[in-house]
């Protein structure tokens, strides 16, 4: 399986290695325009994304929306539940980790965490 292009974290709880999470893993073909001189061409790129949601109101809301988004577009996806540390151990250290406008984002920004490897180190995950 291809490594993910990014990991997205959603939820309002602090980030903890043993916290229960839901992981939505999907691969989608993204199409975007590229300008080359006087021409515009459409580039197609297959990207794997991993969305990790906790079980707070925010995490459940985003997780539900991600599943609906995949279903509406016919995108194949998997959903797994477990502990955050289990899933982080499966991911390469150089994958970017992001979060926006939620408790996870505040936690990551406060520690300057930008990759899965930095997140593993901050949580003490081997």
- At residue 126, the pLDDT reads 82
Q: pTM of the full predicted structure? A: 0.84
The more confidently predicted of residues 33 and 1 is: 33
User: Quick one: average pLDDT of 46-68?
Assistant: 93
Phi-psi label, residue 37: left if phi above 0, alpha if psi -120 to 50, beta otherwise = left
Query: What is the C-alpha separation between 126 and 113, in angstroms, rounded?
Result: 17
Does residue 1 carry a pLDDT above 70? no
């Amino acid at each position: 399986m291809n490594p993910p292009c990014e990991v997205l974290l959603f939820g309002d709880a602090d980030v903890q290695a043993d916290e229960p999470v839901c992981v939505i893993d999907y691969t989608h073909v993204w199409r975007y325009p590229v300008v080359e001189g006087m021409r515009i061409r459409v580039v197609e790129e297959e990207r794997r994304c991993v969305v990790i949601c906790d079980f707070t109101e925010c995490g459940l809301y985003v997780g539900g929306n991600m599943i609906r988004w995949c279903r509406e577009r016919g995108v194949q996806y998997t959903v797994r539940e477990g502990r955050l540390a289990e899933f982080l151990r499966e991911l390469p250290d150089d994958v970017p980790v992001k979060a926006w406008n939620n408790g996870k984002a505040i936690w990551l920004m406060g520690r300057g965490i930008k990759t899965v490897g930095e997140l593993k180190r901050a949580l003490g995950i081997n």
